[in-house]
Chain A
Amino acid sequence: MIPELGHFALTLALSLAVCQGILPLVGAHRGDAALMGVARPAATGQLVFVAIAFACLATAFLTDDFSVLYVARNSQLALPDIYKFSAIWGAHEGSLLLWTLILSIWTVAVARFSRELAEPFVARVLAVLGLLSCGFLLFMLLTSNPFERLFPAPSDGADLNPLLQDPGLAYHPPVLYTGYVGFAVAFAFAVAAMISGDLDKAWARWTRPWTTWAWVFLTVGIALGSWWAYYELGWGGWWAWDPVENASFMPWLVGTALIHSLAVTERRGLFKSWTLLLAIAAFSLSLLGTFFVRSGILVSVHAFATDPARGRFILMFLAVVIGSALGLYAWRAHTLDSPAGFRPLSRETFLLLNNVLLVIAAALVLLGTLAPLGVEWVTGEKISVGPPWFDVAFSLPMIPLMFLLGAGMHAAWRYQPAPGLGRLLKWPALVALVAGIAVPALFYGWAGSLVAVGGIAAFWIMAVSLVQPLRSWRRAPGTPGMSRAVAGMSIAHFGVGMFVLGVTVVSAFSVEQDLKLAPGESVEAAGYTFHLRGFQNVTGPNYRALEAEVEIRRDGRHVATVRPQERTYLVQQNPMTEAGIDPGWNRDLFIALGQPLGGDTWSVRVQYRPLIRFIWFGAVVMAIGGIVAASDRRYRLTAPARERQPVAAEKPA
């Protein structure tokens, strides 16, 4: 009964989505307040019904209702409750429901916090979001019903994929989807602006915090995914340029460009059509990513069950959404363009370069991801594009971007005299040169000029990010302090520097060794001694495991004891490695059991990964910067208060 209730709730949500998608658009066109007024209640109603459907699916999981096909395939009696819940989004149907739920939440948030915007504009934004929701609800009801029954019901389920039985999976998809779907808001704002032909600085000011929030979620989501892959897939890598990873990374790159382009549109009223295009592109790439994952057209380690009917539906949906948005852009964008120019040396120029380089990077990632398909289409030949290509292609736009970033942060709007900028950046440049070469060389040894470039870039970004905070700290009493926007920018860029440092050091100085170990034996690797104390059998709720106890010592002193496991999940009989990791701020020691070599001897893979935490921590710092910037007071002021507010505080140094 409960699953049918969930199915029915989805149908009701669809009918509300249709109302929300059509009536307010008609109302805004005719100036009919009653029709426009449908938008907000319809959005709320839709959220209620989607949430009911979600709760019904959760109930089916938590009560082990294996008469529901989706539950039978992705759960099991002995599965811990937390994973029964996260199994909701462990496969296709449920993650689509989660996606739709998150879209509804964003929509209601827009409806709630947009009281100040013109009513026709809000009506159009909510209508666009409603139409998107229609697409996803139809997708679910037509091809991927999570409530489909299974008769006769099995006595036990097939269990959740063991790879996904991990706290990382509980958090990674919801956060990532919140980011993906959040770009739908910027998309809807862009489409509404093109329909109404109205795009002013207020538009940019309203779009900015929403976009920043979406970007924050996407940043954290990608970082969580990378971290999860690192400790759960057992190979110790943090990024593999897998199509599915690229699918999340492209919207991130374009979204980052969008945040910066919005800054120009808000401050100077420039780059309007470009900003619109980026807003459309960021969400389009999110949809494209969904298509890649769900249609199975690209080979990936993230194997979702694929079904051609689903692929066809998403492709149609994709063509309609992206095609009509870009068509509208071709038709309307020129009316919104702004001719005002700027001097070659100004913040505008740097932000333009930022945008160009980020978009080139995203385009190269897209090219590498789609190249196998394109080459096959044209020549029939099958090729594959791997990490060696991506590593090089991606660095090409990124290296200049990292160096330009430091100058751009401190360039003034409109016109920046060169000598002033030179004086300001002299010290950070010196710090970067010295620290960038010396720090990696002193701690890890000289490893070539590429590492030096990475080190200099990292310290350069961190040093320039400290300029504004230091100035604000040493400012004369009585002068205004740093705005949250500037603080957020400084924090986020500092995070970029940490990330670059982490990537540089991890790629240059990691040590990986496959060793042979028997109980009582010790081996040396990367300056540490690994002593295998022994093995014991462990039983988990739904798996058996062989657990090794390894003591790590350095110079005779105890460092840590880790317990890597070799698990066998009872239902699916899949072997899984649980790596033993000794984390530290400056290095991770990663130990995974390989295979038995006869007797009690095992092959053991040992990895030393210096500064790997900087990669994820850098991403978290970026996200914190985003949150601080999005909370800037000018986004919170009401219109009358903003008019009273002097504009002086908005001008950064």
Chain B
Amino acid sequence: MKLRFLAPVLVFAVLVPLLIFGLSRNPAELPSPYIGKPAPVFTLPDLEDPSRTVSSDDYAGRYALVNVWATWCTGCREEHGFLLTLAERGEVPIYGLNWRDDGAAARRWLAELGDPYVATGFDPDGRVGIDWGVYGAPETFLIGPDGTVLHRHVSPLTEAVWQRDFVPLIAQEGR
């Protein structure tokens, strides 16, 4: 049996565990490699007004949430109500990262469902998403005053998750 006839089945044999891994993992539980490290900087056009920009400097020195969303993502619709509540409570400013989306659809989404964001960066080809290691939407990053990533949550944000994973981090560092 020559190697060149064996090679395809060997390649496939490597692929199968990868796919098993793909099925077995729960994306919500995996931490970001950036936790405890400085969050990647970015400058993006503002979704609402492309002549302005949104950048990571906007929230420097404060706690902030960076929420990755898109109109094609059903999870984003699910968490939107909670984001609005959170924005109303004013605990932490929320910055949006509109990821791999259509600008017009995204603006309509905010006009219809309400806008919880201080500002939303528009990232249609997902370049900033690549820097941040965004895997899918929705994802929410908690950024500390020193610009480090304190926590990352993948999948829709809820009150329970917020109280459990986010509030202690903000409290423990002392506002």
Tell me the A residues contacting B by CB distance below 8 Å: 233-235, 273, 277, 280-281, 284, 291, 295, 297-299, 301, 303, 308, 311-312, 315, 318-319, 322-323, 326-327, 329-331, 333-334, 370, 372-374, 376-377, 379-388, 514, 566, 575, 577, 592-596, 603, 605
Query: What are 28 of the A-B contact pairs (CB < 8 Å)?
Result: A233-B102, A234-B104, A234-B105, A235-B105, A284-B12, A291-B19, A297-B22, A299-B136, A323-B12, A323-B16, A329-B8, A329-B9, A330-B1, A330-B6, A333-B5, A373-B18, A373-B19, A373-B22, A376-B30, A382-B30, A382-B32, A382-B134, A383-B133, A384-B134, A386-B126, A386-B129, A388-B127, A595-B108
Quote the shortest CB–CB distance from B2 to chain A (angstroms). Answer: 6
Whether A299 pairs with B135 at a CB distance below 8 angstroms is yes
For B13, B109, B135, which residue has the most chain A Cβ atoms within 10 angstroms? B135
Q: Are A380 and B125 in contact (CB under 8 A)?
A: no
Q: How many residues belonging to B are interface residues under a CB distance threshold of 8 Å? A: 46
The contact of A386 among B25, B31, B125, by CB within 8 Å, is: B125
Residues of the B chain whose Cβ atoms lie less than 8 Å from the Cβ of A566: 108
Chain B residues near A333 (CB, 8 Å)? 5
**With A234-B105, A374-B18, A376-B30: A330-B135 Cβ-Cβ less than 8 Å:** no
Mark interface residues in B26-67 (1 if CB within 8 Å of A CB, else 0): 000011110000000000000000100000000000000000
| Inter-chain contact B30/A234, CB cutoff 8 Å | no
Cα distance, A376 to B163, chains bound together (Å) = 28
Provide the residues of chain B in CB contact with A370, threshold 8 Å: 15, 18
Question: Residue of A at shortest CB range from B13?
Answer: A323
**Interfacial chain B residues near A577, Cβ < 8 Å:** 104-105, 108
A326 to B7, CA, bound (A): 9
Is the pair A603, B104 in contact by a Cβ cutoff of 8 Å? Answer: yes
Q: Which residues of A contact B127 (CB under 8 A)?
A: 386, 388
B106-139 interface bits toward A, Cβ cutoff 8 Å, 1 = contact, 0 = none: 0111111000000000000111011001111100
Contacts A334-B5, A382-B134 hold; do A234 and B19 have CB atoms under 8 A apart? Answer: no
Q: Does B162 contact A (CB under 8 A)?
A: no
B interface with A by C-beta (< 8 Å):
1-2, 5-6, 8-9, 12-13, 15-16, 18-23, 25, 30-33, 50, 72-74, 100, 102-105, 107-112, 125-127, 129-130, 133-137
Distance from A327 Cβ to chain B, minimum over Cβ atoms (Å): 5
Separation in Å of the A597 CB from the closest CB of chain B?
9
A-B complex: 10 closest residue pairs judged by Cβ atoms: A235-B102, A299-B136, A297-B22, A326-B9, A594-B104, A382-B135, A386-B126, A595-B111, A595-B108, A382-B133
- Whether B18 lies near A377 (C-beta < 8 A) is yes
Minimum C-beta distance from B47 to chain A (A): 11
- A401, chain B: closest CB distance, angstroms: 22
Chain B minimum-CB-distance residue to A308: B23
Given the interface contacts A323-B9, A329-B8, does A295 sit within 8 Å of B22 by beta carbon? Answer: yes
Q: Which residues of A contact B112 (CB under 8 A)?
A: 575, 595
Question: How far apart sit A334 and B1, CA to CA, in the bound complex (Å)?
Answer: 7
A379 and B33: CB pair below 8 A? yes
User: Contact between B125 and A387 (Cβ–Cβ < 8 Å)?
Assistant: yes
Could you tell me the distance between the alpha carbons of A323 and B14 in the complex, rounded to whole angstroms? 11
Query: Are the CB atoms of A326 and B12 closer together than 8 Å?
Result: yes
Tell which of A303, A386, A514 has the most Cβ of chain B within 10 Å: A386
Q: How far is the CA of A374 from the CA of B11 in the complex (A)?
A: 14
B54 to chain A, nearest CB (A): 17
Residues of B within 8 A of A575 (CB): 108-109, 112
Identify the closest chain B residue to A389 (Cβ): B130
Whole-angstrom distance between the alpha carbons of A299 and B30 in the complex?
Answer: 16
A483–B120 alpha-carbon span in the complex (Å): 60
- Does A297 lie within 8 Å of B23, measured CB to CB? yes
Please, which residues of chain A bring their CB within 8 A of the CB of B13? Answer: 323
- Cβ A372 vs Cβ B135 within 8 A: yes
The residues of A that contact B100 with a CB separation of less than 8 Å are: 386
Q: Are B135 and A388 in contact (CB under 8 A)?
A: no
Contact A330 B9 (CB under 8 A): yes
Q: Please tell me if the beta carbons of B2 and A334 are within 8 angstroms of each other in the complex.
A: yes
A358 to B100, CA, bound (A): 28
